[in-house]
């Protein structure tokens, strides 16, 4: 089984010090203008997916390249 950690992707994609306050889900979502209802499992999962998708678009990297 292969899996991808959205936090590791975010740290690599946005790890140049632009994200003040850390790389938790709420900070990443705010930084990337992603609206979601925090601490709702489905909303959190969708937000993580959107973070990875934006990391791919912004960095020009396909999702399989992060694995």
Question: pLDDT tens for residues 14-67?
Answer: 887 677 888 899 999 999 999 999 899 999 999 999 999 999 999 999 988 888
pLDDT of residue 22: 85
pLDDT of residue 19: 78
11 vs 16, higher pLDDT? 11
pLDDT of residue 20: 81
Q: Which two tokens stand for residue 41?
A: 């499992």
Domain boundaries, the chain: 6-66
pTM: 0.86
φ, ψ dihedrals at 64, nearest 5°:
-65, -20
């Amino acid at each position: 089984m292969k899996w991808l950690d959205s936090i590791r992707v975010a740290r690599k994609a946005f790890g140049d010090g632009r994200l003040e306050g850390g790389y938790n889900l709420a900070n990443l979502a705010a930084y990337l203008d992603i609206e979601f209802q925090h601490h709702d499992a489905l909303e959190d999962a969708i937000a993580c997916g959107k973070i990875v998708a934006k990391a791919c678009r912004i960095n020009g990297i396909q999702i399989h390249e992060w694995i």
